[in-house]
Amino acid sequence: MSLALIAALPFLGALLPGLMIRSGRNACAIAAASASALALLGLLLHAPAVMRGEVIQARFEWLPGLGLNANFFLDGLGMLFAGLILGIGLLIILYARFYLSKSDPMGQFYTYLMLFQGAMVGIVLSDNILLLLIFWELTSLSSFLLIGYWKHLPEGRQGARMALTVTGAGGLAMIAGMLILGQIVGSYDLSVILTQKDAIQSSDWYLPALVLILLGAFTKSAQFPFHFWLPHAMAAPTPVSAYLHSATMVKAGLFLMARMWPVLAGTEAWFYIVASVGLITMVIGAKIAIFKDDLKALLAFSTVSHLGLITMLLGFGTKEAAMVAVFHIINHATFKAALFMSAGIVDHEAHTRDIKRLGGLRHLMPITFVIVTIASLSMAGIPPLNGFLSKEMMLEEVSHTVWGGMPWLFPVLATIGAMFSVAYSLRLIWHVFLGPVRDDYPHKPHDPGFGMWAAPALLAVLVVLIGLMPMLMVGDLVQVVAGAVTGGYVPVKISHWHGFVPALWMSVIAVIAGALILRSHPRLDAMWRATPRPEAKPMFEAVVNGAARLADALTNRLHDGALSRYLAIFTVAVLGAGWLAWSVGGHVPGGRQLLPVPGVALVGWLMLVVCSVLVAVLHRQRLLSLVVIGVVGLMISVGFIFLSAPDLALTQISVEVVTIVLMLLALNFLPKTTPMESTSLRRGRDLLIAAGAGLGAGALALALMMRDFAFPSISDYHLANSYSGGGGTNVVNVILVDFRGYDTFGEIIVLGIAGLLIYALTEAIFRGPANRRLLDWPKGERESGDRHPMMMVVAGRVALPLSIMVGIYIFLRGHNEPGGGFIAGLIVSIALVTQFMASGFAWTQARQRVDYHAFIGLGVVIAGATGIGAWFAGRPFLTSAFGYFQIPPMEKFELATAMAFDLGVFLTVIGAVMLALASLSRIAIRAGETVNIEPMDTDPSQTGEGR
């Protein structure tokens, strides 16, 4: 099975629960489990090859120019984590089926769970760091949905926000670190990066990249000082807690450190940062866990402690310590998932997780008691269970570690952490299950059905089997995974007896001291509660609230709704950046000489300058300024003609006519003048900013035009391949419909959306207070007695078919001569607009026989279908095909698929323009124009039509 399919199966499985829930809760759970089981089966099919030391790869080019490829690879490390994610995921799906109540939307839960599972599998199988980053952020988003699944609980919503904030912020830092790493190596593929240790560690950017990547790992794996989010995530349903905090989310940071170990480990910076943070997290998490009365809170802080233990081992930078870290990852996943699910069973049956309200449950819940006892003793490191083996091996590695010239520091602190671990593990057994049976439980507890205890029981069996037969059960797996982490062979020897070594005495001290702490727990608990200490939650909330207040202050100050302020800030920033570049950079004059300026061009340029100034001076008189804008557009069209660009000239003239007419119609419903609101000082300031921006843009354009470039212009390619590749001699049209057809396709979609938005806005005007104001529109302007002169009416109707024929002619010739679908659509639109102007809104609207919404949709569909058609020929999207045909007695002629694409452009332009015009006409009719339909030969001036 392809690795890409394995990564995709959980995402595909996320589609099933929402559909299958209609067939019942069992069908919903089976659908989710089937996707996980199938992905796990595909993974196991690759296991023999991976165990032989092979690396399975699947490579798919996505955006190779950016280095973003959908590449996957599977080695020992990836197989271990993918197996934990999918295997424990199956158990969680089974457990959740019986844990969730009938009031919980199970389909939604499994959808979120499968999305999260897919994101985690994507992380551990990615062979591209950019792809890994995408999956990394998906875990933050999907875990946010899972933690906040019980939306009615304030603590659930708060825990979800806290987890998203902390892990999301770390993810942003990690993105920067990964990008630096990719730039150092010159590739974003992990399989390449992992071979470049020397290049990475010798780079000046090694330390920044290391710190940024570790921030992502530490936040995700709840390492100090980011450990506070994990306990608050316990507000999620217990299946979520068991999954996220035993085998998946919090292990993502550990996976990242293990994956990057070959190129980042082995330096002093790595040792002092990673090992120190891990040790601190181990001790602090274990200490806090002792005094937590909530079962899940105790397990959450114990998770923090064990994550710190694994981080510390990875931080040592030795192959042996990395091997122990791998072994403990396996052990922790087994006993911690079992403990979380058992805590959920207690909560489900006793209706409380408060340890002080429990006790004596071994008589009432014997099965759960056995499971919890096995898993807790393993967590405490008691022989012969698997947790004892990895704890002893950890203490052995610690005993050889020297930190800052102090050989005693790590052994002492690690022993203290192990002591606290024994204390909270024994407390979990003693205070919850031992002692007399109470008569004040919130609900009479008893063991649940097989469906709830089967999953944790299976994990407890694994705890025992791995503890009794470690080499048989996981010896080869640990060796393969450790080899993948370290990039070389690592000998693995796991045994219960290592002789009378320092690790033995450290372990004995930890167990005895832990038991004494448990015995003294009431007194120590009172001292703990009486001792003032910093609380992470209030500190986090204070930081978040402060950031929100600062953001509000900046937003209210800068974003006050004044467009002039936004433009001024942006323009001044650009001018400042340009001036800085000019002042610190070298300036070399361009080598091109200025061409002589003909008198006609000079006159046209002066007219353009004068009209542009008039627009600024007369902008408060809207009608007059609009007329001057039209003159500016026409002068630009003349400039295009002067520069031998007839296509651009035709387009500019057509656009100018349509936009000016539409703006004139829109201005009919707006005040005719703009009040003066700016002071003279502000106008002077704006004048200086505008002058600086204009002069800067002009100087930049001049500097570019006077220089030759080292690389040839892409226009040479277009000129050379227009006919051979696109079948047309009109290069501009071939560019629009072939070379850059995708841009054109996007533009017509935007144009269609604009027309639909105008229509939607007019619909809103016809309701509520806006409609009442429209009906009361004042008729203060003097109107002509002959609003629709007969000569204009007749000329417009006679010109309509001729104009449409011209539009069709321009459309058909566009591939080889100036023209095309866009210009043709504008010409036909102008012909239709003329009817509105000549005969009035009401007359024209009453005779409308087409739906311009359909024109937009049909145009986009035709253009898109033309592009898709290229796929069936094995060509890229929107690649043109053309050929020559002859139908006797006609001459040979050319047909190209670009004509169909141009037809889509043509229809979309007509639909968008006419829908905008029709929307304005509806406003005009509602504002008072009388609908009076007369025969075609009736004189409108005699009937009073058009008023």
pLDDT tens per residue across span 140-163: 999 899 998 888 888 888 888 888
Residue 74 has phi, psi (to 5 degrees) of -130, 115
The pLDDT value recorded for residue 784 is 53
Q: What is the pLDDT of residues 61-75, one digit of tens each?
A: 777 777 777 889 999
The pLDDT value recorded for residue 785 is 54
pLDDT band at 671 (very low <50, low <70, confident <90, very high): confident
- As a whole number, the mean pLDDT across the chain is 86
Q: For the beta carbon of residue 699, count every other beta carbon within 10 angstroms.
A: 12
As beta bridge partners, residue 406 has: 403
Query: Which of 463-467, 630-634, 763-767 is most confident?
Result: 463-467
Question: 706, 590 in Cβ contact below 8 A?
Answer: yes
Q: Which is higher by pLDDT, 518 or 667? A: 518
Q: What is the pLDDT of residues 816-843, one digit of tens each?
A: 888 888 899 999 988 888 887 788 777 7
Q: What is the pLDDT of residues 312-339, one digit of tens each?
A: 999 998 999 999 999 999 999 999 999 9
The pLDDT value recorded for residue 940 is 42
| Residue 114, pLDDT above cutoff 90 | yes
- Cα separation of 517 and 325, whole Å? 27
Question: 839, 938 in Cβ contact below 8 A?
Answer: no
The pLDDT value recorded for residue 159 is 86
**What percent of the chain clears pLDDT 90, i.e. is strictly above it?**
33
| Residue 130, pLDDT above cutoff 80 | yes
The pLDDT value recorded for residue 932 is 38
Segment holding 4, helix H or strand E: helix 3-13
pLDDT band at 935 (very low <50, low <70, confident <90, very high): very low
Q: Where are the domains of the chain?
A: 275-552, 601-675, 732-778+787-947
Question: 897, 877 in Cβ contact below 8 A?
Answer: no
For the segment 626-633, the average pLDDT, to the nearest whole number, is 88
Give whole-number Cα distances, 419 to 334, 382, 517, in Å.
21, 12, 9
The pLDDT value recorded for residue 947 is 32
In the three-class reduction of DSSP (H, G, I as helix; E, B as strand; rest coil), residue 29 is classed as helix
Q: What is the pLDDT of residues 166-211, one digit of tens each?
A: 999 999 999 999 999 999 998 888 989 998 998 999 999 999 999 9
As beta bridge partners, residue 128 has: 189
Which tokens in the block code for residue 927? 């504002």
pLDDT band at 737 (very low <50, low <70, confident <90, very high): confident
Give whole-number Cα distances, 50 to 189, 472, 892, in Å.
20, 18, 64
Which tokens in the block code for residue 899? 């004509």
Q: What is the pLDDT of residues 458-507, one digit of tens each?
A: 999 999 999 999 998 898 999 999 999 998 888 888 888 877 888 888 99
**What percent of the chain clears pLDDT 70, i.e. is strictly above it?**
95
Beta strands in 522-594 (DSSP E): none
| Residue 945, pLDDT above cutoff 80 | no
pLDDT band at 394 (very low <50, low <70, confident <90, very high): very high
Question: 122, 153 in Cβ contact below 8 A?
Answer: no
DSSP string of 137-160, one letter each residue: HHHHHHHHHHHT-STT-HHHHHHH
The pLDDT value recorded for residue 930 is 38
For the segment 601-623, the average pLDDT, to the nearest whole number, is 86
- Cα separation of 125 and 171, whole Å? 18
Which has the closest alpha carbon to 843: 791, 902, 896, 788? 788
Residue labelled with tokens 């204390």 = 423
- Report the DSSP pairing between strands 72-74 and 68-69: unpaired
pLDDT band at 436 (very low <50, low <70, confident <90, very high): confident
The pLDDT value recorded for residue 776 is 63
| Residue 368, pLDDT above cutoff 90 | yes
Against a cut of 0.95, is the pTM above it?
Answer: no
